[in-house]
Amino acid sequence: MIEKTREAISRFLPVSTHTAKLSIYESIDEVDQRKQVRSRLLFKVWACVTVLIILWSCAKWTWAKIIGQKSELDLWPIILMLGLLGVVVSLAGAWRYLHSRYSPVERWKMERLLWQFSENVNLIKQGVTGHVAYVRWGYVVSNDEVKITLLTGGRVSSDFEADIGRRLVAFLTKETTAYWEIRDKKSGNGIIEINLTHNKDERITINRLDALQTSEKINIQLTGRMSLTSKQPMGLIVGPTGTGKTSLLKVLIISFLVNNPDNVVYTIDGKAAFLGQSMKRIGKVAMNAEEAIQLVDELCKIMDQRYKELNADPDDERDITHCEKFHQGTILLVVDELLSLVANMKAEDQQRKTADKLYPQFNAKLLSLITKGRQSSISVIVAGQMMPASVLPTEARSSLGMRISLGRTSPQQAQEVFGESHHNLPFIDAKEFGGVIWLDGLNWDGPKAFLPPKYDEDKLPFKATLTMLAGRRGGGGTPQAATASKDLPVT
């Protein structure tokens, strides 16, 4: 009884930063039936008291008439009892409404919703011992987030723990007809923690350099809530022509260069198109098979050298990256249209001896950079219209902390990119160049819908911006750098 009272007090205040606690031992129907019994009992008591008051008033008035006294029927006690009934019914109705799923008070609304959800997924049910199993909820409601903790007592399977976030979001969306999304989720040992929001993520526009993040380590804002960080140094972007891959690559490249003046970009353009021609202004570029092999070979040598520097002191206990230890910046390798590059390599390899074939050399070095480059502060982003397993094997994909599919994701692509069924991916608006994203290390329940940043070519022309950034670095700029810096919105 004391515990239930404490929990009721924790839920009473409509606005509170403290955790509201709710232990559920029985179904809502059972609770409602008990409330109805109490309500009927109270109504019967009120009715009896009211009838007695009416009888007493009538008896007084009748006796006054009999003894010849002038008297009027006293109606005030009756009016007071009727008024009391009206007030109690109004308060009870308001209380019931404010603790329903329609409540404008979200903290009180969550109590009813979590109770209903517990029944909906059979969290409280009769066990084999004849005892009713129960669960405990804790929740904190803020302006844009609801933090929920569920204590199951360890009686649910690991599959259920993994899936409960998705089921809770689906239930809340159905019951409230509002937007809900999981921001974070952790589970284990009978404890499930879920952070929810019903505010949609905001799409950002890249139109000023001074609005971009500066950071020694990678920190690139993708949406209002999502960022690409050093937790996800390797990335994959796939999508058909016209879905916005190049615009997203522009955002990543410009943001990466602004992040840290010591950062360097290497580029491989499998189609020798716009991106490759543009990136010549600020970094090394490869646009055919031989140049691509030379470039990844150079990066592998840099990676090996950086590992030697990291391990030069055998007594150093720090497990940190090269950038964190030596403050020399991060190297980003952008491989655009990898499938086209591989196709050209394999075509050329048909005329070569086995020992001279280009693709095996290139593939081995690229996979080495993807799987080993993180600690040496070398990041790789691979992009293309398609990315079959024959081009990017599974062992490499597991190292890709950022995976993005733009446009409609086919069943095969869903499996290849995310390892998920096509039906498990969120709905996306392809008209707005939307897609699906996965960022590793964030305790996400699964891939999320994604509206990539909008790159404003009018205010931040890509080639001119690269020219200006190259000029800022001292040397390596082009004659256009001084002119470009006057026109770009950087301050």
239 labeled part of a ligand binding site: yes
pLDDT exceeds cutoff 90 at 72? no
Q: Is the overall model pTM greater than 0.85, yes or no?
A: no
CB 21 within 8 A of CB 138: yes
pLDDT tens-digit profile of 222-269?
Answer: 999 899 998 899 999 998 888 889 999 999 999 999 999 999 999 999
What is the per-residue pLDDT for 152?
83
What is the per-residue pLDDT for 321?
93
Residue 212 sits in the same domain as residue 193: no
- As given in the structure block, the two tokens for residue 336 are 């655009």
Which of 197, 231, 252 is where one domain is finished? 197
Residues facing 333 on adjacent strands: 266, 380
Average pLDDT of the residues in 451-456? 93
What is the per-residue pLDDT for 408?
85
Average pLDDT of the residues in 48-76? 84
**Which of 400-409, 423-432, 473-482 is the least confident region?**
473-482
Tally of domains within the chain = 2
Residue 122 sits in the same domain as residue 235: no
pLDDT band at 478 (very low <50, low <70, confident <90, very high): very low
242 labeled part of a ligand binding site: yes
Residue 223 sits in the same domain as residue 338: yes
The residue that leads in pLDDT, 306 or 473, is 306
First-residue to last-residue Cα distance in the chain: 63
What is the per-residue pLDDT for 130?
44
pLDDT exceeds cutoff 60 at 486? no
Residue 222 sits in the same domain as residue 114: no
Residue 154 sits in the same domain as residue 86: yes
The residue that leads in pLDDT, 144 or 363, is 363
Residue 180 sits in the same domain as residue 236: no
What is the per-residue pLDDT for 469?
93
482: CB partners within 8 A, 6+ apart: 471
pLDDT exceeds cutoff 90 at 30? no
The residue that leads in pLDDT, 226 or 190, is 226
pLDDT band at 430 (very low <50, low <70, confident <90, very high): low
Q: What is the 3-state secondary structure (H, E, C) of the chain?
A: CHHHHHHHHHHHCCCCCCCEEEEECCCHHHHHHHHHHHHHHHHHHHHHHHHHHHHHHHHHHHHHHHCCCCCCCCCHHHHHHHHHHHHHHHHHHHHHHHCCCCCCCHHHHHHHHHHHHHHHCCCCCECCCCCECCEEEEEEECCCCEEEEEECCCCCCHHHHHHHHHHHHHHHHHHHCCCCEEEEEEEECCEEEEEEECCCCCCCEECCHHHCCCCCCCEEECCCCCEEECCCCEEEEECCCCCCHHHHHHHHHHHHHHHCCCCEEEEEECCCCHHHHHHCCCCCEECCHHHHHHHHHHHHHHHHHHHHHHCCCCCCCCCCCHHHHHCCCCEEEEEECHHHHHHHHHHHHCCCCHHHCHHHHHHHHHHHHHHHCCCCCEEEEEEECCCCCCCCCHHHHCCCCEEEEECCCCHHHHHHHHCCCHHHCCCCCHHHCCEEEEECCCCCCCCEEECCCEECCCCCCHHHHHHHHHHHCCCCCCCCHHHHHHHCCCC
Residue 299 sits in the same domain as residue 349: yes
Residue 364 sits in which domain range?
Answer: 205-311+319-487
223 labeled part of a ligand binding site: no
What is the per-residue pLDDT for 243?
87
Residue 176 sits in the same domain as residue 211: no
Which of 171, 197, 223 is where one domain is finished? 197
What is the per-residue pLDDT for 178?
86
Spatial distance between the Cα atoms of 249 and 278, rounded to a whole number of angstroms:
12
pLDDT tens-digit profile of 359-418?
Answer: 999 999 999 999 999 999 999 999 998 888 888 887 788 889 999 999 888 888 888 888
The percentage of the chain sitting over the pLDDT mark of 70, rounded to a whole number, equals: 94
Q: Tell me the average pLDDT of the chain.
A: 87
What is the per-residue pLDDT for 490?
47
245 labeled part of a ligand binding site: yes
What is the per-residue pLDDT for 212?
93
83 labeled part of a ligand binding site: no
pLDDT exceeds cutoff 50 at 34? yes
Residue 134 sits in the same domain as residue 212: no
Closest among 385, 449, 442 to 413, alpha carbons compared: 385
Residue with tokens 């903790």: 149
Q: Kindly report the CATH number assigned to the domain that includes residue 386.
A: 3.40.50.300
448 labeled part of a ligand binding site: no
Average pLDDT of the residues in 291-313? 95
Residue 167 sits in the same domain as residue 39: yes
What is the per-residue pLDDT for 188?
80
What is the per-residue pLDDT for 131?
52
Residue 336 sits in the same domain as residue 462: yes
CB 181 within 8 A of CB 451: no
What is the per-residue pLDDT for 218?
94
Average pLDDT of the residues in 169-180? 90
Average pLDDT of the residues in 186-206? 88
Residue 340 sits in the same domain as residue 385: yes
pLDDT exceeds cutoff 50 at 128? no
Spatial distance between the Cα atoms of 211 and 462, rounded to a whole number of angstroms:
16
235 labeled part of a ligand binding site: no
The residue that leads in pLDDT, 120 or 330, is 330
